[in-house]
Amino acid sequence: MRPNRSKPMKNTITPNGNKLSGIFCNFFGHHFVVSKKVTQHIKEYKCVHCGKQVTTDERGKLSPLTPKLKEINRTLEDMYQRRNRVRARGKSARKQVA
């Protein structure tokens, strides 16, 4: 009797090591929720089942969250927060003068 030499099964073990959740995501797809709001348009998402992390790229598509994209999001968030702090101070100063 010959052994079954069909396609090898995908590796379903996730970074967290949960094999069952990996199978669920392979079968039904990921269930992403927002884990971090970087700006109004850019967010980081995490799958509630397997823990896979993705982010929106420059085109608005979901792409895997790599260390490079993490650093870009961190820098972008810092710039976004600084700009909004300056705008908030400017608005409060205008209200006091008027």
Q: What is the pLDDT of residues 69-93, one digit of tens each?
A: 999 999 999 999 999 887 777 776 5
pLDDT band at 24 (very low <50, low <70, confident <90, very high): confident
DSSP string, 46-93: EETTT--EEEE-TTS-EEE--HHHHHHHHHHHHHHHHHHHHHHHHHHH
Of 56, 55, 57, nearest to 46 by C-alpha is 55
Per the CB < 8 A criterion, the answer to whether 33 and 48 are in contact is yes
Residues pairing with 54 in the sheet: 45, 64
What whole-number distance in Å separates Cα of residue 9 and Cα of residue 40? 39
